[in-house]
Amino acid sequence: MNSNAHFSTLTCPNPACGHQQQALMPTTFCQLTYTCQACSMTYIHKSGDCCVFCSYADKPCPSMQDEETCCSPSLPGKQVSHKGIEAHESTFS
C-alpha cells in the first residue's frame, strides 16, 4: 500500500452540508463516527460497512484496501479489527 492510501476525502452525509474534508484513516482501529467540521453533525458508519471511511469516503479504509476483514459485526460497541484492536467511536478534526 502506498503512503497516500491512508488519506481519504470524507463527504458529510447531511444534505444541507455536503462538506468534503481530507482525513487520515486510522490503521489500528475502525473509526465508527466522524464529526463534520462545517456543520458539526456527528455521523456513524452505514449498516454493513465497517467504518465511516467505507461509508462516506472516496476510498475504503486501509483494512478493506488490503482485502482483510476489518471489524467484526458480532460485537456491537466493542468491535475488533483484523489486528485484534478495539474499534473506536472517536472523532478527529
Say whether pLDDT at 10 is over 80: yes
3-state DSSP call for residue 9?
Answer: strand
pLDDT: which is higher, 29 or 80: 29
Cα 9 to Cα 32: distance, rounded to the nearest angstrom: 16
Q: What is the pLDDT of residue 68?
A: 63
Q: What is the pLDDT of residue 27?
A: 84
Residue numbers of the domain that contains 66? 1-93
How many domains does the chain divide into? 1
pTM of the model: 0.69
Say whether pLDDT at 19 is over 70: yes
CA 93 to chain centre: 13
Cα 51 to Cα 57: distance, rounded to the nearest angstrom: 10
Q: What is the pLDDT of residue 93?
A: 42
Say whether pLDDT at 79 is over 80: no
